[in-house]
Amino acid sequence: MRKKNLTAYVFLLPSLCGVLLFYLLPFADVVRRSFLTAVTKEFCGFDNYRAVFHNEAFLLASKNTARFCLFCLPILLGLGLFVAVLLDGYCRGKTFLSAYLLPMAIPSATVVLVWKMVFARQGILNACLGDFAALLGKNCVFEIDYMDTGAAFWVLVASYIWKNLGYTVTLWLAGLLSVPAEQKEAARVDGAGSRQVFWRVVFPQLLPNLYTITVLSFLNAFKVFREAYLVAGSYPHESMYMLQHLFNNWFVNLSLDKMAAAAVVTGGVMITGILLLQRLWEKE
Amino acid sequence: MQAAPGMDGEAVEKMRRRMKRGMAVVVLAALAVLLCLPVAMLLFGSVTGDYEMWERLLPMTPAGNGYVRWRWIPEFPDFSRYANLLFATPQFFVLFWNSVKITGLILAGQLLAAVPAAWAFARYDFWMKKALFAVYVILMLLPFQVTMLSQYLVLDRFGFLDTHWAVVLPAVFSTFPVFLLYRSFLTIPESLLEAARMDGAGEGYLFWRIGLPLAEGGIWSAVVLNFLECWNLIEQPLAFLKEQSLWPLSLYLPQIGLERAGFAMTASVVTLVPALLVFGFGKEYLEQGISAAGTKG
């Protein structure tokens, strides 16, 4: 046994050293710093935490981030499942799936200009909406400024879905394909309609996948900052000012004490969330 | 649906199923087109003449009125920008090589560190294994912003800031590839390894001669997924590289102003091509990699 221990650690060593050096030890240092003042490095108890929780930008950013996840996760998971079921039921080929995955390969920076053209006040989306209204015989002028009003939030949701739909569909498909065909067939023979087969037989077996799909989609939700930052800069419309913007701005302004406390709080909330979800899921 | 006279129930049922299938295909195809539209716009825009592009975007400028109208086929196609960019713009090349260098170093480092680590997690029982693996999974899930300050502190201490190592080193020890590779090493049957051990094979041999070849697909999945991620790095270089000549392409592109929109599109397409190539050749691995992460292990 001891020899096996040793072999395992030999394999693990390079990675473990790096993880300790670049992630775990420095994070411990951040926890320590969150209790110190920024300049004099004196112990100041929970002052930094108090400052963070009274910081309006932090409250706004947390609210927006939570709101974003609350909207985009159900939309993405629901839409993804719907598309996956259609793909599984009607299109055995992989052609469409590749098209859905394509946005994943597109570097955020390359579509910035397209985003700007589409979502500008005089942009393509408004032009298309106007054309569509004209087609219906109505004469409307669309002058929605997507980036500088509350609509910015929905642009963000849309760009998240654009980027991640293929990922989620692939995950759901993997789950769908693991449901044995005989079970579906048996239910059908017993007289269940296709809807009943789905909700009674297939869906319950997808639930275990729900945990990983949620967690992975949540992880990707934070990367939407790339599009948001590149299109709208450090201080976008307040409806899409997220925790990522805040961390970035604090970093630029060197508010390291607040950053330390906020990193501990955000990290703590996320770790708790992940562990809770995992508990829930292991009970299933 | 009303049954037409002269049709029996079975034929109606068949037609209904056909219609349903047709509708599903139309919906799926429309979605596919919609999702690929931005890429198509880039490709066509990249060969539109500078003046024509500027004229098109005029409504977006403060003085403009009317709407931006997109036209697919340019009136004045212009391919010279590609030649210009590739042969007469050395600055662009510097940035392109920065991207290549950063991505290459990260991928190589990840393979060296993550493959053996994943093997250890998948095939051995050792002290603290469960706790360590939990730590790895949590690290994989934490967004960059949470670990940004800690990375900064460490990079600052070792003097890596404003060098490519500042972006490369933390990414090398990202735990996501460990998790992915762990999943593919798990699928190798233990009996195979036991049999090899009986024949006197050492642990290194097992890893090198059985583990690696059998998990090749998983390794490629990790490479493809991580390539796409590295080619698109924004947050890390933005935070850790002040010197613009060190920047990867992904940071430079958005800085090109609207008045050079045509150039920006050409540069975007050149940036896009490596990602598209990897995507095209690695699609299968990409799908496998994603599903491997999602299914219960």
Q: What is the DSSP string of A127-141?
A: HHHHHHHHHTT----
Structure tokens at B25: 């295909």
Question: Which residues are B48's β-sheet partners?
Answer: B77
Report the C-alpha gap between A86 and A84 in whole angstroms. Answer: 5
- Coil vs helix vs strand at A43: strand
Structure tokens at A135: 């087609």
Structure tokens at A177: 């394909």
Q: Convert the pLDDT of each residue in B201-255 to its tens digit.
A: 888 888 999 899 988 888 999 999 999 999 999 999 999 999 889 999 888 888 8
Structure tokens at A61: 């950013």
Report the C-alpha gap between A187 and A241 in whole angstroms. Answer: 49
Contact (CB<8Å) A113/B232: no
Structure tokens at B214: 């059998």
Q: Convert the pLDDT of each residue in A37-79 to its tens digit.
A: 877 788 888 888 998 899 999 999 999 999 999 999 999 999 9
Which one is predicted more confidently, B92 or B65?
A: B92
Per-residue confidence (pLDDT) for residue A14, from 0 to 100: 93
Task: Report the topology of domain B80-294.
Answer: MetI-like fold (1.10.3720)
For A124, residues 6+ apart whose C-beta sits below 8 A from its C-beta are A117, A118, B67, B68, B69, B70
Reported residue count of chain B is 297
The closest of A45, A10, A66 to A218, measured between CA atoms, is: A66
Across B81-98, average pLDDT: 86
Q: What is the DSSP string of A79-143?
A: HHHHHHHHHHHH--SSHHHHHHHHHHHS-GGGGHHHHHHHHSTTSHHHHHHHHHHHHTT------
Residue B295 confidence (pLDDT) above 70: no
State how far the alpha carbon of B198 is from the alpha carbons of B26, B187, B192, B202, B204, in Å. Answer: 57, 20, 10, 10, 15
The closest of B237, B228, B245 to B148, measured between CA atoms, is: B237
Report the C-alpha gap between B150 and B148 in whole angstroms. Answer: 6
Q: How distant is the Cα of B60 from the closest Cα of chain A, in angstroms?
A: 6
Contact (CB<8Å) A112/B254: yes
Per-residue confidence (pLDDT) for residue A62, from 0 to 100: 93
Q: Pick from B24, B35, B38: which is nearest to A90 by CB?
A: B24
Report the C-alpha gap between B243 and A278 in whole angstroms. Answer: 42
Per-residue confidence (pLDDT) for residue B2, from 0 to 100: 52
A15 and A112 share one domain: no
> What residues make up the domain containing A19?
1-26
Q: Which of A110, A172, A177 to mutate to test the interface with B (most CBs of B within 10 A)?
A: A110
Report the C-alpha gap between B135 and B130 in whole angstroms. Answer: 9
- Coil vs helix vs strand at A36: strand
Residue A246 confidence (pLDDT) above 60: yes
A17 and A39 share one domain: no
A3 and A84 share one domain: no
Residue A151 confidence (pLDDT) above 90: no
**Chain A contact present for B265, CB below 8 A:** yes
Instruction: For tokens 């056909």, name the residue.
Output: B18
Contact (CB<8Å) B296/A230: no
Domain boundaries, chain B: 80-294
State how far the alpha carbon of A128 is from the alpha carbons of A114, A131, A134, B170, B265, in Å. Answer: 15, 5, 10, 44, 22
Q: Convert the pLDDT of each residue in A203-212 to its tens digit.
A: 888 887 888 8
Residue B3 confidence (pLDDT) above 60: no
Contact (CB<8Å) B150/A29: yes
For A103, residues 6+ apart whose C-beta sits below 8 A from its C-beta are A162, A163, A165, A166, B35, B36, B38, B39
Domain count, chain A: 2
For A46, residues 6+ apart whose C-beta sits below 8 A from its C-beta are A35
For A18, residues 6+ apart whose C-beta sits below 8 A from its C-beta are B113, B169, B172, B173
Structure tokens at B128: 């603290």
Q: Pick from A18, A215, A256: which is nearest to B141 by CB?
A: A215
Per-residue confidence (pLDDT) for residue B297, from 0 to 100: 44
Contacts of B250 in chain A (CB under 8 A): 107-109
A217 and A182 share one domain: yes
CATH number at residue A39: 1.10.3720.10
Confidence of residue B9 (pLDDT cuts 50, 70, 90): confident
A164 and A236 share one domain: yes
Q: Convert the pLDDT of each residue in A99-136 to its tens digit.
A: 999 999 999 888 888 888 888 877 888 888 888 888 88
The amino acid that residue B174 corresponds to is S
Q: Say how far residue B238 (Cα) sits from the centre of its chain.
A: 18
Q: Which of residues 164-183 of B touch A (CB under 8 A)?
A: 169-170, 172-173, 175, 178
Q: Pick from B35, B42, B170: which is nearest to A22 by CB?
A: B170
A88 and A159 share one domain: yes
Residue A142 confidence (pLDDT) above 80: no
Report the C-alpha gap between B228 and B233 in whole angstroms. Answer: 9
Q: What are phi and psi of B48, to 5 degrees?
A: -90, 140
For chain B, strand residue ranges (E) read none
Evaluate whether B280 touches B127 at the Cβ level (below 8 Å): no
Contacts of B68 in chain A (CB under 8 A): 117, 120, 122-124, 127
State how far the alpha carbon of B129 is from the alpha carbons of B11, B133, B134, in Å. Answer: 61, 6, 9
A155 and A184 share one domain: yes
A43 and A18 share one domain: no
The answer to whether the Cα torsion of B243, B245, B246, B252 is positive or negative is positive
State how far the alpha carbon of A221 is from the alpha carbons of A158, A216, A271, in Å. Answer: 12, 9, 16
Across B267-291, average pLDDT: 90
Structure tokens at A246: 């805040």
Contacts of B60 in chain A (CB under 8 A): 116-117, 120, 122-123
Evaluate whether B167 touches B237 at the Cβ level (below 8 Å): yes
Q: Say how far residue B19 (Cα) sits from the centre of its chain.
A: 37
Average pLDDT, whole number, for chain A?
Answer: 87
Residue B257 confidence (pLDDT) above 80: no
**Chain A contact present for B194, CB below 8 A:** no
Contact (CB<8Å) A263/B170: no
**Chain A contact present for B42, CB below 8 A:** yes
Per-residue confidence (pLDDT) for residue B5, from 0 to 100: 58
Report the C-alpha gap between B105 and B168 in whole angstroms. Answer: 7
What contacts 24+ positions apart, CB below 8 Å, involve A129-135?
A130/B67
Across B97-111, average pLDDT: 95
Contact (CB<8Å) B153/A30: yes
A275 and A175 share one domain: yes
Give the other-Cβ count within 10 Å of B206's Cβ. Answer: 20
